[in-house]
Structure formats: structure tokens, C-alpha cells
Amino acid sequence: MKIWVDADACPVAIREILFRAAERTGVKVTLVANQPVRVPASPLVECVQVSPGFDVADNEIVRRAGRGDLVVTADIPLAAEVMGNGAHALSPRGELHTTDTIGQRLNMRDFMDTLRASGIHTGGPPALSKRDRQSFANHLDTLLTRYGKG
């Protein structure tokens, strides 16, 4: 298993959890971003900077993530695409996407996009909470225990 991170929008607290998990388990973490992202000096952590542009980082993650890998992203369409390729998808808020839930999440995302396009202000997501960070860490540990080095 390798971990791929949609790093442009990934909260620092979540990246730090991932860095600690890499050191603890020996699983490689690769952050993919359109801009430079600071990473610790570790052979297990790297950052791939892609050119700016719509979905450039997402497309790079889709190209590189393999069956059994983990993709950390808040981007629902990206999560659906990598899941279709056999990867796991976990949001920074700790939501582990499944084949049973991803369709509903895509529908809700499209609905909210339609509302925003019609001028309705839907607001943004709340700040990342301690509970979100704990949920993320718990799901990450479960996945690493189940699929980590094998």
C-alpha cells in the first residue's frame, strides 16, 4: 500500500498525522500538489509538484494510485475515480468512502453545485474539528493495519 494525498486542500493537521503514520508503519506517503508543500526529511515522504491547472493534481493521483493504495482527498469525484481503479479513499474529515456510499456523495455534491450555480449561498464546510482528526486517524490506523505493508 502507498498513500497518495491530494495536498492542495489537505489540512496541515491531517498531513502531520500521515507523516507520523509513515514513520511508524514504513508506508510511503506522497503528497501531490500544484504548489510547494513542506514535508519532513524522510525517505518515506515525498511531494510531487505538478503544473497549475484544473484537475492536474487529481489526474496525477489517478495515474499513479494503484489497486490497494489509499488516496486522501476531500474531492468526491477524485475519490470515486480512484475507487473505480481499486484504491481506497478517505476524506480528511475521516469519512471512509465505500462503493455503497460514493454514489450518494456524488449526487449530493452535484445537487449542492446546482444550488450554488442558481445563486443560493450554501456556505462552506465547518473547520476541521478534533473529532474529525480522531476519525481520520482511526480509519487510517484500521486501513494500515489491514492493508499496510502487504
- Number of independent structural domains in the chain: 1
Q: Is the pLDDT of residue 150 over 70?
A: no
Highest mean pLDDT among 41-50, 90-99, 117-126: 41-50
The neighbour count for residue 95, using CB atoms within 10 Å, is 18
Residue-wise pLDDT tens digits, 105-139: 766 767 667 777 888 777 767 889 999 999 999 99
Domain with 130 in it: what CATH number?
3.40.50
DSSP for 36-77, written as a single string: -----S-TTEEEEE--SSTTHHHHHHHHH--TT-EEE-S-HH
- The β-bridge partners of 90 are 72, 96
Separation CA 19–CA 2 (nearest Å): 13
Domain that holds residue 28: 3-147
Instruction: Give me the helices (H) in the chain, please.
Output: 12-25, 56-64, 76-84, 102-117, 130-147
**Confidence grade of residue 56 (pLDDT, cut at 50, 70, 90):** very high
Report pLDDT for 112.
67
Residue-wise pLDDT tens digits, 9-43: 899 999 999 999 999 999 999 999 999 999 999 99
Cell (9 digits) for 98: 465505500
Of 73-77, 99-103, 128-132, the range with the lowest mean pLDDT is 99-103
Q: Is the pLDDT of residue 90 over 90?
A: yes
Q: Is the pLDDT of residue 93 over 90?
A: yes
